[in-house]
């Protein structure tokens, strides 16, 4: 494509030199640029295509970066990156040393707020707006949030505050009726009703009379009039909260968006503009299958993303296989997801057991307390949740589940280093933040078979249990007919050697096994982070000179720390080397690259163990024969 306009646009100031009549063409070029680039590098796709016109209109209408645009989640910001100085780097997005997957304050001044987790935009924008007022800066503040993002509690907390304030702040509700999967919930139903209303149909037919449906903008400058408007216009719910509601308008009409935004600038107080968009707009395969095209691998843009012939299984599929087998025979089993049906491999379950499948929307806190309620009445809820999103429900995990010792199983996916989504989505904190919670048991499977047995153990355990597994591929599904119950707190000796013992928590056992075999060391699959197999640790501490702990979690407060706490409590003195995530947020890169970066590759473990032994004059282990002959 000939990028007549885009070639000359590096920053929004370039965009603002154009005539409003050129913007449609700019949008077309930007959309094509996104298709061309993301098909080469992979990444989030549908949401950015759907917000092309919005992106252009916002940067055209506002004096960014002085005026603040706050994107929610940030997966729709690829177009924003392109026109804010990062056009040529877009192709590196999500890769090691490449562009950040989401807006990042560290990366660019137009990225007003670092994001990745959803539903933060209204709170952050309101904070910025209050700061502007307090420092006599008269910048405009706009939060852009999707209908999915609007399903989270945080968004309502922010609207609740915003509606009772007199801050000049605009929320743009980018409504495409999709979360990653189709959006859910009563608010979604309400918004759908608005979009399907007669007023919006009129707009779509091109009359563009929507703004005549309400009193002229300058006449709804105060809340009282806005409130009256709400009585007979769509968006009454927002009006009742003290927020001037406008729309719905067509989010793919750049010119009209610009005119609307310019008008809205004149209106004081908290406002919400409801914009209707199509996820995947302009790329037909993405329009017709928005779930598949939410995020994509590299693909040929003429063919679309092809169905892989040999599907690669990951641990989520191992979970799905176990879950569907168990749910067949136990009607008490509920699977709860906070808007991650596909990611958590719940598609099969949702089809087979629709009455016991619950997608609560992006509502992690509610998901956990809902599970607590189910458990109070003798059901067996399973909270299927990414490690990083469980962070949102920390109080619910402690106060609503663990404190009441309720029978809830947490299937914690994407734990440890979770790869290209980077620092906002890393799962390296869960062992540290859950290990200190009483009543909870925590399991770290080392292979798919054990993973299913652990899920089964957690299922049979009559209290709160976590099984945490990574985003790692597995060769095949275990194909088990029966699942074993594992003795709680029991580790497994894998290799019996001497001098050094590796205590492994999770799938990194594979790396330790190779080194242990090579150097004739001992290797233990610890299996439980809580309770620890203290007897076994004691036994090995007595006869070895070095303990090496290996985990896919922060070193601070993690499983290795648990072992050290135990050794210290017992007064056992022994050299100790721990492998885990450094005190830094893991940057976007593949999971393997992140492991290497944290010194947890096989080579690194071997090298550091050898260095340690050498520096401490404990042993000379130059090669395996040296050890074996001892």
Ligand X SMILES: Cc1ncc(C[n+]2csc(CCOP(=O)(O)OP(=O)(O)O)c2C)c(N)n1
User: Which of helix, strand or coil describes residue 526?
Assistant: coil
Q: Please tell me the distance from the alpha carbon of residue 558 to that of residue 518, in angstroms, as a whole number.
A: 27
C-beta of 175 vs 453, nearer to ligand X: 175
C-beta of 118 vs 597, nearer to ligand X: 118
Site string for ligand X, 49-78 (x = CB under 6 A): -x----------------------x-xx--
> Nearest 5 degrees, angle CA 263-CA 266-CA 267?
100
Q: Of the candidates 258, 286, 339, 532, which one interacts with ligand X according to CB under 6 A? A: 339
| 343-347: long-range pairs with CB below 8 Å, 24+ | 343/180, 343/316, 343/386, 343/413, 343/414, 344/316, 344/319, 344/384, 344/385, 344/386, 344/411, 344/413, 345/314, 345/316, 345/317, 345/319, 345/320, 346/320, 346/384, 347/320
Q: Of the candidates 117, 223, 380, 527, which one interacts with ligand X according to CB under 6 A? A: 117
- Tokens at residue 194, please? 């608005």
Q: Of the candidates 37, 167, 179, 597, which one interacts with ligand X according to CB under 6 A? A: 179
Contact call for residue 146 and ligand X (CB under 6 A): yes
- C-alpha distances out from residue 434 to 106, 425, 428, 456, Å: 29, 17, 11, 20
From 140-148, 317-325, 426-434, 606-614, span contacting ligand X (CB under 6 A): 140-148
Q: How far is the CB of 196 from ligand X (least distance, A)?
A: 17
Q: Of the candidates 5, 71, 349, 389, which one interacts with ligand X according to CB under 6 A? A: 389
Contact call for residue 34 and ligand X (CB under 6 A): no
Q: What are residue 49's DSSP bridge partners?
A: none
Q: Please tell me the distance from the alpha carbon of residue 556 to that of residue 407, in angstroms, as a whole number.
A: 28
Q: How far is the CB of 252 from ligand X (least distance, A)?
A: 14
Contact call for residue 178 and ligand X (CB under 6 A): yes
Q: Please tell me the distance from the alpha carbon of residue 269 to that of residue 224, in angstroms, as a whole number.
A: 12
Give the containing element (helix H, strand E) for 522. Answer: strand 522-525
Contact call for residue 336 and ligand X (CB under 6 A): no
Contact call for residue 149 and ligand X (CB under 6 A): yes
From 14-22, 173-181, 222-230, 457-465, span contacting ligand X (CB under 6 A): 173-181
C-beta of 417 vs 519, nearer to ligand X: 417
Contact call for residue 358 and ligand X (CB under 6 A): no
The residues annotated as belonging to the active site are 279, 364, 392
The answer to whether 51 touches 144, Cβ cutoff 8 Å, is yes
Q: How far is the CB of 251 from ligand X (least distance, A)?
A: 11
C-beta of 73 vs 562, nearer to ligand X: 73
Contact call for residue 217 and ligand X (CB under 6 A): no
C-beta of 47 vs 158, nearer to ligand X: 47
C-beta of 55 vs 76, nearer to ligand X: 76
- The 3 state secondary structure assigned to 440-500 is CEEECCCCHHHHHHHHHHHHHCCCCEEEECCCCEECCCCCCCCCCCCCCCCCEEEECCCEE
- Helix, strand, coil fractions of the chain, as percent rounded to 5: 45, 15, 40
- From the list 105, 78, 101, the residue with the least C-alpha distance to 420 is 101
From 12-20, 172-180, 451-459, 566-574, span contacting ligand X (CB under 6 A): 172-180
- Tokens at residue 112, please? 């007003």
For the chain, the residue count is 630
From 19-27, 142-150, 440-448, 490-498, span contacting ligand X (CB under 6 A): 142-150
Q: How far is the CB of 116 from ligand X (least distance, A)?
A: 6
Q: Of the candidates 9, 23, 47, 619, which one interacts with ligand X according to CB under 6 A? A: 47
* DSSP string covering 96-157: TTS--SS--TTT-TT--S--SSSS-HHHHHHHHHHHHHHTT----EEEEEETTGGGSHHHHH
From 178-186, 264-272, 465-473, 477-485, span contacting ligand X (CB under 6 A): 178-186
Contact call for residue 80 and ligand X (CB under 6 A): no
* DSSP string covering 286-300: HHH-TTTTSEE-S-B
From 176-184, 242-250, 268-276, 534-542, span contacting ligand X (CB under 6 A): 176-184
- Tokens at residue 335, please? 């699977």
C-beta of 44 vs 527, nearer to ligand X: 44
Contact call for residue 180 and ligand X (CB under 6 A): yes
Q: Please tell me the distance from the alpha carbon of residue 326 to that of residue 482, in angstroms, as a whole number.
A: 10
Number of residues interacting with ligand X: please give it, by CB under 6 A: 21
Name residues contacting ligand X, limited to 488-547 (CB under 6 A).
Answer: none
The CB-side HSE value for 485 (13 A sphere, CA atoms) comes to 7
Q: Please tell me the distance from the alpha carbon of residue 199 to that of residue 197, in angstroms, as a whole number.
A: 5
Q: How far is the CB of 414 from ligand X (least distance, A)?
A: 11
Name residues contacting ligand X, limited to 256-315 (CB under 6 A).
Answer: 279
Q: How far is the CB of 276 from ligand X (least distance, A)?
A: 12
C-beta of 279 vs 527, nearer to ligand X: 279
Contact call for residue 414 and ligand X (CB under 6 A): no
Contact call for residue 344 and ligand X (CB under 6 A): no
Contact call for residue 229 and ligand X (CB under 6 A): no
Residues of this chain that interact with ligand X (CB under 6 A) are 47, 50, 73, 75-76, 117-118, 146-149, 176, 178-180, 279, 338-339, 362, 389, 392
């Amino acid at each position: 494509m000939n990028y007549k306009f885009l070639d000359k646009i590096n920053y929004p100031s370039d965009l603002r030199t154009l005539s409003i009549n050129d913007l449609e063409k700019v949008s077309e070029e930007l959309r094509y640029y996104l298709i061309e680039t993301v098909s080469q590098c992979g990444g989030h796709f549908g949401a950015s295509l759907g917000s092309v016109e919005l992106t252009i209109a916002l940067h055209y209408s506002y004096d960014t970066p002085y005026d603040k645009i706050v994107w929610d989640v940030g997966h729709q910001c690829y177009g924003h990156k392109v026109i804010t100085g990062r056009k040529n780097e877009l192709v590196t997005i999500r890769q090691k040393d490449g562009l950040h997957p989401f807006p990042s304050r560290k990366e660019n001044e137009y990225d007003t707020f670092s994001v990745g987790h959803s539903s933060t935009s209204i709170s952050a924008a309101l904070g910025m707006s209050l700061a502007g007022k307090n420092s006599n800066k008269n910048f405009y503040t706009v939060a852009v949030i999707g209908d999915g993002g609007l399903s989270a509690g945080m968004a309502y907390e922010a609207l609740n505050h915003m509606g009772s304030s007199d801050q000049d702040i605009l929320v743009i509700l980018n409504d495409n009726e999709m979360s990653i999967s189709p959006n859910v919930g009563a608010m979604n139903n309400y918004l759908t009703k608005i979009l399907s209303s007669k007023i919006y149909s009129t707009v779509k037919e091109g009359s563009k009379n929507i703004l005549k449906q309400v009193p002229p903008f300058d006449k709804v400058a105060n809340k009282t009039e806005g409130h009256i408007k709400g009585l007979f216009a769509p968006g009454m719910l927002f009006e009742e909260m003290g927020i001037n509601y406008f729309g719905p308008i067509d989010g793919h009409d750049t010119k009209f968006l610009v005119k609307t935004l310019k008008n809205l600038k004149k209106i004081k107080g908290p406002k919400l503009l409801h914009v209707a968009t199509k996820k995947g707009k302009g790329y037909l395969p993405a329009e017709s299958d928005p779930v598949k095209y939410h995020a994509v691998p590299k693909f040929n843009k003429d063919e679309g993303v092809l169905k892989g012939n040999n599907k690669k299984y990951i641990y989520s599929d191992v979970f799905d296989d176990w879950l569907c087998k168990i749910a067949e025979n136990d009607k008490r089993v509920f699977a709860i997801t906070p808007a991650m049906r596909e990611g958590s491999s719940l598609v099969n379950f949702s089809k087979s057991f629709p009455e016991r499948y619950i997608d609560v929307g992006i509502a992690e806190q509610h998901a956990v307390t809902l599970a607590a309620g189910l458990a109070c009445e003798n059901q067996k809820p399973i909270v299927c949740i990414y490690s990083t999103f469980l962070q949102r429900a920390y109080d619910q995990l402690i106060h609503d589940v663990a404190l009441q010792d309720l029978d809830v199983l947490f299937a914690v996916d994407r734990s440890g280093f979770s790869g290209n989504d980077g620092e906002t989505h890393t799962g390296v904190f869960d062992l540290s933040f859950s290990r200190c919670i009483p009543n909870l048991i925590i399991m770290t499977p080392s292979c798919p078979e054990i993973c299913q047995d652990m899920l089964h153990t957690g299922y049979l355990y009559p209290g709160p249990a976590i099984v945490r597994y990574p985003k790692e591929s597995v060769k095949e599904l275990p194909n088990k007919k029966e699942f074993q119950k594992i003795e709680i707190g029991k580790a497994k000796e894998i290799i019996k050697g001497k001098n050094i013992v590796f205590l492994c928590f999770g799938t990194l056992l594979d790396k330790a096994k190779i080194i242990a075999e090579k150097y004739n060391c001992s290797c233990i699959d610890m299996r439980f982070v809580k309770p620890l197999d203290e007897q076994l640790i004691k036994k090995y501490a007595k006869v070895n000179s070095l303990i090496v702990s290996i985990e896919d979690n922060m070193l601070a407060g993690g499983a290795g720390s648990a072992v050290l706490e135990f050794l210290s409590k017992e007064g056992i003195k022994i050299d100790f080397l721990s492998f885990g995530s450094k005190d830094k947020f893991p940057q976007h890169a593949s999971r393997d690259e992140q492991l290497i970066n944290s010194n947890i590759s096989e080579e690194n473990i071997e090298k550091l163990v050898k260095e340690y032994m050498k520096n401490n004059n404990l042993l000379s282990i130059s090669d395996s024969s040296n050890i074996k002959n001892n």
